Structure 1
């Protein structure tokens, strides 16, 4: 069973969507998926629960929308003028997400997934990372146009290698991410991918 993803069209939705999404992710981090309820989100966001149900018929649908649209998990797509610079800037943002005061607990809650059915967790993760990957495409479009990557390069593999190093260090090993880590990872991944 896949997680439903009814989302308001851009420009549509409750006026309090930002507060609802922030409350959803904060409560997820504090209570886990099992402890997350529509009623608690409504109370924390200062809205009626009917407002939430009007747009998101279940807590799975609400969490799905919050993960894709909440500001706390947002990324800025860099344009530094070089692939290396853009990838370092993206890696630094991943580091901020997995180590940040507000976002770290959310990332851990989603990654651990207790209470979520396996297919629900898989769907949430797939949609979240597909959304991020689609946002990051301009980095690679510019790099291909500048001749910084051979045409057969797999951008998703590059991002998986870079983000994976951050996730392993910060979340799986639970070790501090030292200054310069983003640049070190990008430099370890890019040499083999660069054109001559």
Structure 2
């Protein structure tokens, strides 16, 4: 039996590189219908467990984005919000979070989280972390925008990320090492020794 170099490389690649790693997807509002996430609960943008980052923003004063996360991977620790207002001198919003879909635009009962913010500017971004505490069920998120400085900026924008669970799509993924690696390495070594023994004969 001849032990070819190509065979060795193929086995090496299969053992050390493994299958392509699974990472969380990123969804941007530009990918939504008309480049905008749903403006009412009946048009909520729905995100699966594989989505790790959502990027969106304010279209105009009075705009709302309704987002629905249909569940979270085990190990997801929080849903983190970062609001910025590049170029703008002021901006505001309401943030509402429920564990079920919103019934209508004015559904404020009962919320898991609800707060209003009115001083989001270019120099004062807003960061909020919503702890999941082991919760893996659905969450509905409403972002109601108001009073933004569109003359100098493009309104308030946001990035929502999941902490824990799948690594984000832009993160380097660890190389998986299979459990049978020592045994496979021993087998490769035996093949190399057998080849050398046959050459000497």
TM-score with structure 1 setting the length? 0.27
Going by fraction, where is helix more abundant, 1 or 2? 1
Q: Which has the higher contact order (CA 8 A, sep 6+)?
A: 2
Bigger Rg, which one: 2
Going by fraction, where is strand more abundant, 1 or 2? 2
TM-score with structure 2 setting the length? 0.26
